[in-house]
Copies of this chain bind each other. A is one copy, B any other.
Amino acid sequence: MVNLVIVGSVALDTVQTPFRIVKNVLGGSAVFSSVAASYFSKPGIVAVVGEDFPQEHVDFLKNRNVNLEGLEAEGKTFRWEGSYEYDMNEAHTKKTELNSFENFNPKLPKSYKKAKYVFLGNINPELQLRVLDQIKDPKLVMLDSMKLWIETKKKELLKVIKKIDVLLLNDGEARMLFDTPNLVKAGSEALKLGLECFIIKKGEHGVLLFSKEGFFAASGYPLENLKDPTGCGDSFAGGLIGYLESTQDISEKNIRKAIIYGSVIASFNAEDYSLNRLKTVALQDIQNRYTEFKKMGEF
């Protein structure tokens, strides 16, 4: 039985940074988040790839204990092409080929339906809802989204948000969804929707957590060797929910810890292209950087 379900994209990415370009490498929100979650948990993913999807990627995910029963194969794999400027703060999408994703109608395997932890990665909110409806009695549902859906499917997005526990957005998305430049105001507004937690990702500036129990601010990990931020938001989310699932503890106190674990994994992810860095990072490395995180905030 799968206790953590992750829905999102499995993609072949072409990414240009100021340093180099990589073509058709493994990517997608479900991939980054499930690999991050796999340090703590055994996630099952819901996604679709094409028949052109390389077997080596399937093998890699299987080796990481990612359950692929919910991975369909049909047509051509989803492709994303993006680039980063000098400061690497924001991805600029150059091209998106939806391919097999276009008519994706997620159908959950039986073994997923009693999952207690669910991460609705950034896809069309209508699909997120369709996934959620198939899960019997989840304990914690976390959702990520993006500007595209806030602009084009706000009504549908708000409908799903009312059914979840934890909303995850980056600062730009938070400002847009709640129509304020002030993230603290956005935080109050989010809680009024009935959420348990609202988490705002600020990239190199860290993470904010708003909940009924108060406010938590985590710094970003200082990276001198930042190579490619693609997938950092998803690695963060996956690490976070994977840790929560493994500890079976969704108290605010434990969510703070989970946020740091997510931040640690995201910081490793940014040190190389695609999943390259996470391929070599061991749990002990994560523990060590977690300790560094603690020290760098002490006063």
Q: Which residue of B lies closest to A188 (CB)?
A: B224
How far apart are A120's CB and chain B's nearest CB, in angstroms? 25
CB within 8 Å of B: which A207-241 residues: 208, 214-220, 222-224, 226
Distance A181 CA – B218 CA, assembled complex (angstroms): 21
CB within 8 Å of B: which A270-299 residues: 294-299
B299 touches A184 (CB 8 A): no
Contact of A299 among B87, B181, B218, B223 (CB under 8 A): B218
Contact of A217 among B202, B214, B222 (CB under 8 A): B222
Q: Which residue of B lies closest to A221 (CB)?
A: B217
A222 touches B218 (CB 8 A): no
A184 touches B222 (CB 8 A): yes
Known: A188-B224, A222-B215. A87 touches B297 (CB 8 A): no
In the complex, A204 has a CB within 8 A of chain B: yes
A204 touches B183 (CB 8 A): yes
Distance A111 CA – B209 CA, assembled complex (angstroms): 49
Known: A202-B205, A257-B299, A297-B297. A185 touches B224 (CB 8 A): yes
Residues of chain B within 8 A (CB-CB) of A265 are none
In the complex, A206 has a CB within 8 A of chain B: yes
B297 touches A223 (CB 8 A): no
Distance A181 CA – B205 CA, assembled complex (angstroms): 14
Q: A217-B220, A256-B298 are in contact. List 10 more A-B contacts (CB 8 A).
A: A182-B224, A184-B222, A184-B223, A184-B224, A185-B224, A206-B206, A215-B222, A216-B299, A217-B219, A257-B299
Known: A217-B219, A217-B220. A299 touches B188 (CB 8 A): no
A295 touches B256 (CB 8 A): no
Distance A60 CA – B30 CA, assembled complex (angstroms): 60
Contact of A206 among B187, B205, B260 (CB under 8 A): B205
Residues of chain B within 8 A (CB-CB) of A202 are 205
